[in-house]
Amino acid sequence: MIAALTLLLVFQLAGEVIARGFALPIPGPVIGMALLFLVLMLRGGPGDDLRQTAGTLLQHLSLLFVPAGTGIVLYGDRIAAEWLPLLVALFLSTFLAIAVTALVLKALTRNRARTAAEREQ
Amino acid sequence: MSPDLEEIWVYLSATPLLGLTLTLLAYQAAFWIYKRAGFHPVANPVLISVAILATLLLATGTPYQTYFDGAQFVHFLLGPATVALAIPLYAQWPRLKAMAGPLLIALVAGSLTAALSAWGIGALLGASRESLMSLAPKSVTTPIAMGVAERIGGLPSLTAVLVISAGIIGAVFGRAILRRLHVGDHAVHGFAIGIASHGIGTARAFQVSEQAGAFAALAMGLNGLITALSLPWIMPWVERLFAG
C-alpha cells in the first residue's frame, strides 16, 4: 500500500512540475492521471498493490470533498442575498448538462449500433 | 463550562486534530445514515457530512480556517485520488476507444451546456457578475474550476462550494433523470454524470458499476481539460455579446 501511495504521489508531483513548468491551465493531478495512464498502457496494466490502493482511495472519494464543501459557511451573506438565482442555476444547469450529454451520446451510439447491424445483414 | 473543560477546548481548537477527527466522524455518521437509507441517492454522504460540519462550525463560532487546518489532510488526498483514476480508465480502455467519436461530440455538447446554461439562468435571475463567473465552471472538478473562476473574474472559494453543490445535485438526481430519458447503458450513464457532476458524480457512478465509474472519470477529466482551455476566452465573449 505504501509503495502504491508513493507511486501515486510521484505521478502527482510529476504532473505538478509539468503544469507549472509549461504554465498549463490544467491541474497537476489531472496531468499525473494522464501520465500514469500512459505508463499502464506501456506496461500492460497495474499490479495488485496499485489496484487495491486505488480501489480503496476511490471507494471513499466522497469523503475527500467534505472539507471544501464545508466552506459554504464562509458565504452565508452572499447565499442569503442571491440564493434564488444560485439555486435555480445550479439545479437546472446540472439537469440540462446530464440530459444533453446522455441524449447526444445515446443517439450517436444507437446510430452506430444500427449501421453495424445493417452491415451484417 | 468549568475552567478545565474550557482549557481543553482552547487547546483542542488550536490543533489540527479536532478538524481532522470531526471530518472523519461526520463522514462515518453520514455513511451510516446513507447505508441505513438503503443507499438512496437523497441521503448523499457529502451533503450530510457538510450539513453536520457547517452546523457545528456555526454553533461553536469556529472560523472555517481553523477547521480547515485539520481537514486539509483529507482535502490533500484529492490529488493522489485523481491520479488513481488512471486505473479504472485503463480497465475500460477497449470500450472507451470503440466509442471515441460519439464521446467527443457528447463532451463538447455537455460541457458547453453546463457552463452556458449556468451563466444564462443566473444572469436572467439577476445574480451578480462575481457569482455568474463562479457558476460558469461549476461542473468541473474543484481545482480546475477554482483556477478557471480566478481567470474569468469569479471567486475561487465560492466556486468550490458551487462545484460541490453541482456534484451533489447530479449524484442525487442523476439516476432519476437518466431513467426518465430511458438511458440504460452504464457507459452513457457514467459519462453524463461525470460531465455534469465531476468527482462527486464519479463517486456515485462507481456505486452503480465499475463501467459507469470509469466513464464518469473519463468525462470528468476531459470536461476539466476542455473547460480549462475554452472558458477563459468564451466567457468574455459571451458577456460582450449580451451586454451590447
Secondary structure (H, E, C), B3-43: HHHHHHHHHHHCCHHHHHHHHHHHHHHHHHHHHHCCCCHHH
B94 or B121, higher pLDDT: B121
Q: Which residue of A37, A61, A68 is in closest CB contact with B89?
A: A37
Give the mean model confidence (pLDDT) for residues B77-96.
Answer: 88
Q: What letters, b where the CB count within 10 A reaches 16 and e where it falls short, cover B9-35?
A: eeeeeeeeebbbebbeebbeebbebbe
Q: Which residue of A46, A64, A106 is in closest CB contact with B183?
A: A106
A118 falls in which pLDDT band (50, 70, 90)? low
Give the mean model confidence (pLDDT) for residues A48-60.
Answer: 91
Q: Which residues 76-105 on chain B approach chain A with CB closer than 8 angstroms?
A: 77-90, 93, 99, 101-103, 105
Q: What are the cell numbers at B200?
A: 462527486
Of A94, A105, A103, give the one whose Cα is nearest residue B114: A94
Give the mean model confidence (pLDDT) for residues A53-75.
Answer: 90
- For chain A, the structural domain boundaries read 1-59, 72-121
Give the mean model confidence (pLDDT) for residues A30-57.
Answer: 92
pLDDT in tens, B107-140: 999 999 999 999 999 999 999 999 999 999 999 9
User: How much is the pTM?
Assistant: 0.84
pLDDT at B89: 84
pLDDT in tens, B180-202: 999 989 999 999 999 999 989 99
CB A106 within 8 A of CB B215: no
A115 falls in which pLDDT band (50, 70, 90)? low
Give the mean model confidence (pLDDT) for residues A57-75.
Answer: 89
pLDDT at A119: 57
Q: Which residue of A54, A63, A101 is in closest CB contact with B192?
A: A101
In whole angstroms, what is the distance from residue B180 CA to residue B175 CA? 9
In whole angstroms, what is the distance from residue B168 CA to residue B155 CA? 20
Torsion angle of alpha carbons B53, B57, B60, B63, nearest 10°? 150
- What separation, in Å, do the N-terminal and C-terminal C-alpha atoms of chain B show? 61
A84: closest chain B residue by CA:
B125
pLDDT in tens, B9-46: 888 877 889 999 999 999 999 999 999 999 888 898 99
Q: How many residues does chain B have?
A: 244
B113: closest chain A residue by CA:
A97
pLDDT at B181: 95
User: Mean of the per-residue pLDDT values for chain A?
Assistant: 89
Q: 487547546: which residue's cell?
A: B11
Q: Percentage of chain A with pLDDT > 90? A: 60
Q: Percentage of chain B with pLDDT > 90? A: 66
Q: 504554465: which residue's cell?
A: A23
Full 3-state SS string of B156-193: HHHHHHHHHHHHHHHHHHHHHHHHHCCCCCHHHHHHHH
Residue B90 has pLDDT above 80, yes or no: yes
Chain B: nearest CA to A121, how far in angstroms?
A: 21
Choose the mutation target among B72, B77, B82 for the interface with A, i.e. most A CBs under 10 Å: B82
Q: How many residues does chain A have?
A: 121
A113 falls in which pLDDT band (50, 70, 90)? low
Q: Which residue of B54, B185, B192 is in closest CB contact with A73?
A: B54
Give the mean model confidence (pLDDT) for residues B173-180.
Answer: 95
pLDDT in tens, B39-68: 888 898 999 999 999 999 999 999 999 999
Q: Percentage of chain B with pLDDT > 70? A: 98
A120 falls in which pLDDT band (50, 70, 90)? low
Which residues in chain B are closer than 8 Å to A61, comparing Cβ atoms? 81, 199-200, 202-203, 206
Which residues in chain B are closer than 8 Å to A112, comparing Cβ atoms? 102
Task: Give ipTM to 2 decimals.
Answer: 0.87
Beta-carbon contacts of B238 under 8 Å, excluding residues fewer than 6 positions away, are B116, B119
CB B103 within 8 A of CB B191: yes
pLDDT at A121: 53
Which residues in chain A are closer than 8 Å to B92, comparing Cβ atoms? none
Give the mean model confidence (pLDDT) for residues A14-35.
Answer: 88
